[in-house]
């Protein structure tokens, strides 16, 4: 485990640290309002953060994911034509932007809020090796009166150093009071629907 201040000062994270963050066990003295998590495997789409930096409202994240011959999505998408769903690459961008919000000190539970434009002009197949995410944070803002924060970014995804996707205007927010820690019980946050704006 590491301290909250150490977490916010780090410029890279290894796979075991991202897994610990996903399970809520990375930060020893995390603020009570730090509820956000990365997804756990198999939905976690990042194996390591090589670079994370920020200054004022801008920043950058560079991360990688290893492609595995037996990845779960190759088993079902599609029979006799295995390819990683493009939406999982986009989800990896959202995961990284949410993680960036936490790293910058944002509190609450993370939610993807949308994106502007996505272009797919390549594919990820079982015998590829490494997916690289290069995410430029265009704007990070904390909204004190709403107890929330938001990040907007653009990204390139490369497989084995060849660009295959671009994402523009991806948005993620952290919101307090929307987590559902007592799953599967029925409780105040056990039903979805529109978030208040």
Question: Which residues are known catalytic residues?
Answer: 77
190 φ/ψ sector (left φ>0, alpha ψ -120 to 50, else beta): alpha
Is residue 168 helix, strand or coil? strand
As a whole number of angstroms, the distance between CA 126 and CA 74 comes to 7
End-to-end CA distance of the chain: 35
d(CA 103, CA 178): 20
């Amino acid at each position: 485990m590491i301290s909250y201040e150490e977490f916010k000062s780090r410029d890279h994270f290894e796979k075991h640290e991202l897994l610990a963050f996903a399970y809520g066990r990375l930060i020893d003295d995390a603020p009570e309002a730090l509820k956000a998590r990365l997804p756990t495997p198999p939905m976690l789409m990042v194996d390591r953060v090589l670079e994370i930096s920020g200054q004022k409202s801008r920043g950058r994240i560079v991360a990688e994911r290893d492609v595995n011959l037996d990845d779960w999505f190759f088993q079902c998408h599609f029979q006799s034509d295995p390819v990683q769903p493009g939406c999982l690459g986009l989800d990896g961008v959202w995961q990284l932007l949410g993680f960036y919000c936490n790293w910058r000190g944002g509190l609450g539970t993370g939610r993807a809020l949308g994106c502007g434009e996505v272009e797919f002009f390549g594919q990820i197949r079982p015998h590829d090796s490494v997916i690289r995410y290069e995410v430029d944070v265009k704007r990070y803002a904390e909204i004190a009166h709403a107890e929330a924060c938001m990040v907007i970014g653009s990204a390139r995804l490369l497989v084995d150093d060849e660009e295959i996707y671009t994402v523009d205007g991806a948005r993620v927010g952290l919101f307090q009071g929307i987590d559902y820690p007592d799953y599967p019980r029925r409780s105040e946050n056990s039903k979805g629907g529109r978030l208040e704006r």
